[in-house]
Each structure stands twice: as structure tokens, then as C-alpha cells.
Chains A and B, each alone.
Chain A
Amino acid sequence: MRARPVAGILLRQFYLIRGSPVRALPMFAWVAIDIVMWGFITRYLNSMSAGRFNYVPSLLGAVLLWDFFTRIMQGVSTAFLEDVWSRNFLNLFATPLTTPEYLTGLVLTSIGTSAVGLAVMLALATAVFGLPFFSMGLMLIPFLLVLFTFGIALGILASGLVLRLGPASEWLVWPMPALLSPFVGVFYPLATLPHWMQDIGHLLPPSYVFEGMRAVLAGHAAAAQNLAIGASLAVLDIMLAGYFFTRVFRYAVRTGLLARYSAESVS
């Protein structure tokens, strides 16, 4: 893999974000609104429980981690959609750029944009609502890494779907995190769910993160074995997503879908 083409993808996204407030704003505005809203909800719940239970770490911490995952996923897919919106496939894929170089460029873009969102969320949640985020200690690292890896995998999968199904299918991309959230137990233990939903949840890496987070906040140790399963699943998912995108790209080149992409000739 060559560094310069990857840097090209990154530079293009930087130009776009720098030159457009409508791209820069969502990097932190929506997550900030989320944190503020959930911050006040947790305050209200705390006042109702009269100090018997502190909702801030479990609810606000969960919102923060989930928003981080969502930003990562959307960071990848939005960077890909920029090429859809500007009808840039012909110019881009007639170059020596390889699929791994392109995807790496998208991932690095996502790291940059989601880091901004994470910093804003952390600042707000800790400074305004007193979230003891760092009380999770070193366990934060595997939590964030698993969510990061799965977010990248989902972003690549979403990009592959848009490439396969056409520009209008971007509307399938945005609700993806919301579709997964009931199954991964962001706000409640997996045991709350019916068995069939638990079975799906066990296949999704974020479930292990949120179960682990709740264990740590309750003063227990997160089960290392469970986190290892989550991490393994996330790595497997990123490999499968990369494979899926490569297959879709080859299909698009074989069938002519890439050359007449805007025709939305789904078959």
C-alpha cells in the first residue's frame, strides 16, 4: 500500500471539511446535543432516585460510547458518499488507486472526524454533567477499540451497499446504528431481551462493550473473556466488510455498474 494515494483521499476530505461549515458542524453539533439532552435526563433521574442510584455513568457513559461508534461508522460512509454525491467514481477509479488504499483513506478520515466528536463529548459530559468517564481506567482502551473496529466495519459494509445498490440507498445507511442499538443493550443488560434478540446481540461486538462497561461501573471487573470475544468478532467483521466491499467493487467493474453508477441499475 502506498502512502501518497491514501494521503490524497485524506486531503480531499480535509479540503471539503475546511471549506464547508455544513460538513464541519455535524462533527460535533449532534453529539453535543445528544450529550446535553441525556445529561439533563440523567440529572432528572438522579433527582427522582434521591441519591440511591447515580444514572450519570451508566446512561451518559453509554450515550457517549454509542455516539462515538456512530460517528466512526458515519465517518467512513460519509467520506465514501462524498464521491457518490460529486459523481467522482470515473475520475477516481480510473487512477492507480487500489481498493485497500481507498478504504484506508476513508478510515483515516473517520478517525480524524470522530476524534473531534469524542473530544467535544468528553469535554461536555465531564465538565458539565460530571461524568466520571476516566473512572473506567484502562478498560476504556479495549472498549473504544472494539467500538472503533466495529464502527469501521459497519462503515465499509454501508459503503459497499451503496456501491452495489446505487446512490439512493444512502437512506439505508443512516439508520443502521439505530437498527442495531436495541440488540446490543446500550442502556440495559442483554438479559433484559428475549432470547432471539440476545442471540443476535451476542454476534455484535458492541454488546460485549456495554456489558463490560456496566460491570466496571458496578465495581466488578469486566470479563476479559467476553471482551476478547467482542474484539475477535470486531476484527472478523472488519475483514468480512473489506471482503464484501472488494467483491462489490469487482462486481461493479465486471457488470459496468461502476461506469454507469448514477443510472441506479440495481439487479
Chain B
Amino acid sequence: MLSVRDLRKSYPQVVAVERVSFEVRRREVAGLLGPNGAGKTTTINMILGLLSPTAGCIRIAGIDLARERARALGQANFSAVYASLPGNLSVRQNLMFFGLVYAIPRLAERVRELLAEFDLEHLQDAKCGVLSSGEQTRVALAKAVLNRPQLLLLDEPTASLDPSAAQTFRSRIRRLATEGDCGILWTSHNMYEVEAVCDRVLFLSHGRILLEGDPRRLPSEHGAPTLEELFIRLAREPLDESLERAP
């Protein structure tokens, strides 16, 4: 679903992402982990076409993003805590607007379907700006699956949710991955959540991928009691060469 090869983003003063390569497979939830400033959002922005890489190649569902931007982005969608939908449009209006932009066939029917699926029917005429965080997250996820994407990017999607709403959200995402046909790239700082949702994780630090593997096995493989402990160790003291991911 997603293939990232030798991705690099450099600015005059800093290299934000350096030779990052990874894949997200069909029906897989891959976690992109790392401390603040590690390059996660930069990587996601490049996959979404919002930031052009200095070097490297991104393929979404086999389509080269640099060569066929519109076709590639038609296969993807995203939800991020920092990219709320226009608050001056209602839930239904937002879905209709983005549905047209994604050129969804039988749009009215698809919107009705999503309003029911995400329990938004009673909120369909409410402006998105007045919804609670949990409701806004549901609307953003409904928008993110409007086009039945092959690749779904979720950047800290549960950051503003209470534990109960977050659990419901995670179940929904797991269901999307197992019952649907898409690959999901998920970023989160909640290691409990990552263990519960992700099939595989990639540890990013200083713009490089340091570790990759099963979140349930990685801690013991690297002598850490929990994924959180491993995360803290990697964030404070990047792994030495012996622990670095094989190229």
C-alpha cells in the first residue's frame, strides 16, 4: 500500500529526515514512533504531498507520488489532531465537500452510510467547530475513510480523546484494517495504544529509523521491560550500531 524508499528532507540548517525506507502492507497497522522532532510529521507530510522530499521515492498503491500526485493522493487519506475540518461547515457539509473533492461516486449515499457508521446522524447539521473533541475525531475519521483509501495516515488521532473514546476509536481502526483493504500508518505517543493496535512499529529518531519490529516482542529483544521503557531509552540515547536496523 505504501512504499517509502530513501526518503530525505533537508533544510538549509537541518536534516529533518535522512534515508528513511519502509513499507506499509495491506491490512496492516504500522506504527511510526519517535520523540517530538524525530521527523514523524515531516514524513507524513511528505507522504501526503504537503511537503516535497529532497530525495527519495514514495509510492502509494504502486503509484509514484512525485509523478502522479493527484492519482496517488486519490488512494490515500488522513486524519490528524492538528488538522481539524473547517469549523464553519456542518458535519454533513464537510463530508459532501471533501467527497466531491475526492470525486466519490454516489456521494450522498456514501455520506449517509458514514454518518450511520460513525454515529453522526444526530450531529449531521451541527457545525464542526462546536463539536466535542471526541465528536470531531469521529468526523475526521469519517472524512478519512470517505474515499475508501488504500492508505490511511493517522497522526496522533487519539491525542484529544478520553480513554473510553480512545478505546472505541482503536477498535474501529483495527476493524478497518482487518475487514477493509487498506494499510494504516499510525503515529502515537501512547505505547499502550501502540501495542494494542499496531502489527509492526518503526522507531524514528533524529530523522532516521532506528528499530523496526513487533511492538510486543521488541522490548524483550532489546532488554527493556516495556515498549515505553524502550521508547524512552531510544529517545534519550539513540541505539548504537549493533542495534540499528539492518539496511
The interface of chain A, by Cβ under 8 A from chain B, is: 2, 4-5, 7-9, 11-12, 15-16, 19-20, 86-88, 90-98, 250, 253-256, 258-259
Contacts and interface: CB of A to CB of B under 8 A. Distances in A.
Given A253-B52, A256-B51, A97 B45 contact: no
Contacts of A88: 85-86
B111 to A, nearest CB: 12
The 5 residue pairs across chains A and B that have the minimum distance between CB atoms: A8-B100, A86-B86, A94-B48, A90-B83, A96-B74
Interface in B39-91: 41-42, 45, 48-52, 69-71, 73-74, 76-78, 80, 82-90
Nearest to A94: B48
13 contacts: A5-B102, A8-B97, A8-B101, A91-B83, A94-B73, A95-B101, A96-B71, A96-B102, A98-B70, A253-B50, A258-B51, A259-B45, A259-B50
Given A96-B73, A256-B11, A90 B50 contact: yes
B74 A16 contact: no
Nearest to B84: A87
A115 B11 CA distance: 46
In this complex, the interface size class of chain B, counting residues with CB under 8 Å from chain A, is: 35 or more
B22 interface: no
A94 B90 CA distance: 21
A34 B11 CA distance: 50
A253 B103 contact: no
Contact of A92 (B45, B82, B93, B101): B101
B149 to A, nearest CB: 11
A258 B97 contact: no
A11 B51 contact: no
A88 B89 CA distance: 12
